[in-house]
Amino acid sequence: MSMRWKGGAPLRKYMNDDIEEVICNCCGKIIKAEHGIVKEGVFMAEIKWGYFSKKDGEVHSFDICEACYDKMTESFLVPIEQKPMREFL
């Protein structure tokens, strides 16, 4: 399974069901993975639009590198909630 964008290049590249790389939807940065583990911070999101939206029945997904995530969240009027994790899995 690989995801594609309008230009036809994959946004996620898989090898034997293990992810090999991810492309940031904002800046196009290639984020490498080893043995199915992404080697940098990346925000992977998926939203299933439901009733009362103009995108009813659509599923959108995107990946954003950590630098683009920081730029995006710094512009929020209401800051994001941050709390420490107790365990890393």
Q: What are the extents of the domains in the chain?
A: 3-74
Report the alpha-carbon distance of residue 41 to residue 20 in Å, rounded: 14
Residue 4 has pLDDT above 60, yes or no: no
Residue 8 has pLDDT above 80, yes or no: no
Q: Taking the model in full, what pTM does it have?
A: 0.77
Sign of dihedral through CA atoms 86, 73, 29, 6?
Answer: positive
Residue 22 has pLDDT above 70, yes or no: yes
Q: At 42, which amino acid appears?
A: V
Percentage of the chain with pLDDT > 90?
63
Contact call for residues 39 and 19 (beta carbons, < 8 A): no
Task: Record the tokens describing residue 83, joined without a space.
Answer: 């709390």
Residue 83 has pLDDT above 90, yes or no: yes
Residue 2 has pLDDT above 60, yes or no: no
Q: What's the pLDDT at 3?
A: 57
